Each structure stands twice: as structure tokens, then as C-alpha cells.
Structure 1
């Protein structure tokens, strides 16, 4: 049984109108109507509230049996979206840190003083140039990979 059918059945078994149920859940009557007519689905917090109101486990409310319903598919999809968003945020943070470190290396190199000591040795921070460019390249590469990955995901969703 789909979530919309489950909600309608539970509401009628309790003898509640859509208006009364809406008042108990602090939502509009139109929201209840939309849920029952399968026009949209409630968010996760509201699903938990509904399960408490009707004294049902989340499994019973969402699945309504052994088959996967629209609600279960929505919750699974929302969970994967959240994980992907967290991974994107972490990756972008790492990329930004690498870029800043690379720029820092180049700034330090440009501000450092090069000199020849009394024995004739040149003292210079030349190693900062390749390290700086490597860090900048790595940061940009992370941004390009994340951007490409997001485009692929967005393209798959449209299909």
C-alpha cells in the first residue's frame, strides 16, 4: 500500500476529517489533500510526527507492507542526495585549501630574499615554485572533477 493510501485509511479509521488531521499536524488541509492524492509527499520530520500520531512504526507507515513505495524511494533518494552534498562540500573545501596553500607558496617565494653567503652558496627558496604550482594544479583538478561529476549526475536525473 502506498503512503497516500495508508494515510487516507488511517485517517478514516480514526474518524478524522482532513481538516482535523491538518490541525493535529499543524499543516494546512491542502497539504493533507496533496499527500492523500499523491501530488507530493511530506518531509521526514512530518513522517515521524504522523507515525507517532497513529502509533505506527516508520516501516509500517512508509512501506505499508513488503513492497517499496514512493515514500520509501523518496527517503532513499533524499539520503543519497545528502551524502553527495556532504562529499561535495568536503571536496570543495579540500580544493580551496590546496589552492590557498599553492598561492601562499608563490607569495612566500616572491617575498623571500635570495642572497649569496660568504662561502659563495646561493640561498633561495626555489623549491616553493614547483610545490606552489602543484598545489594550485591539484586544487583546480579537484574543482574540475567535482564539477564534471555534478554535471553527469544532473544529466542522469533529467533522463
Structure 2
């Protein structure tokens, strides 16, 4: 059975209207209707909420619908790729901050004639930028893989 039919059957078994189910899930009645008519599919968090509300397993709720299973796999892949994007940005920003800090702090001679400079910031900056570049390349590789896998 498809996901929409499954939701409708479970809702009717619990003697709920679309409006009542929508209120419990904090969505509109139209959203529930679009799920039941297979015009739209909920995200993974909502699927888990529905399963918890009706006290059924996720298997019972989604395994009969190939479209829903594919959507959940795709959503999971997109979340992983978004995390890689965030990691890339963080590494680049931290690397840039190391170089900026080194430039702003500068170097100076103390009273004993010893050069004082934050020498450690430059290699750390390069390490962070290199790490960001690696994560970026991995991210692009995964995106290409998913792009060609789906075609």
C-alpha cells in the first residue's frame, strides 16, 4: 500500500478526521489531504512523529511505498551534504581567522631582544584551509556521485 493510503487507513482506524490529525501534528488539514492523496510526502521528522502518534513502527508506515522510501533516502543524503557544506565553511573561516590574527598581532622584540610572534597561527591556518579544501572535494565528489546515480 502507498504511504497516503496507509496514513488514511490508520487515521480512519483511530476515528480521526483530517482536521483532528492535522491539529495533533501541527500542520494544516490540506497538508494531511495532500499526503493521503499522494500529492506530497512529509519529511522524515514528520514520518517519525506520525509513527509515534499512532504507536506503530516506521516499517509499518513506509515500507509498502517505494516512493516514500526513496524520498527518505534522498532527504538523508541531502542532510549529510548540507553538514559537509557547513564543515567546509567553518574550516575556511577558521583558517582565514588564523591568518588574520597572525597579521593583526604582528611581531615585536621584547626587552631582551627576543622576537615575539604568533608563529603557530600560520601552519594552523594552512592546515585548516587544507582540511576545508579536502572536505569541499569530498562534498563535490559525493554530489557528482548522487547526481549520476539518480540518472
What stretches of structure 1 of length at least 5 have no aligned partner?
118-122
Equivalences for residues 145-156 of structure 1 within 5 A: 146=136, 149=139, 153=143, 156=147
**Within-5 A mapping of 1:21-60:** 21-60=21-60
> How much is the aligned-residue C-alpha RMSD, in angstroms?
4.0
Q: Distance in 1 between matches of 2:55 and 2:81?
A: 33
Gaps of 5+ in 2: none
Alpha-carbon displacement from aligned partner over 1:25-63 (angstroms, at most 9, x marks no partner): 343221111101222122333322322343321111011
> TM-score normalised to the size of structure 2?
0.66
Give, in whole Å, the separation in 2 of the partners of 1:50 and 1:69: 18
2:100 is matched with 103
Aligned residue runs from structure 1 range 1-159, under 5 A: 1-64=1-64, 69-109=66-106, 111-113=107-109, 132=122, 135=125, 139=129, 142=132, 146=136, 149=139, 153=143, 156=147
How many pairs does the alignment contain? 149
Aligned equivalents of 1:126 and 1:23: distance in 2? 62
Query: Partners of 2:35 and 2:6 in 1: how far apart?
Result: 10
Query: Larger radius of gyration, structure 1 or 2?
Result: 1
Q: CA deviation at 1:6?
A: 1.4
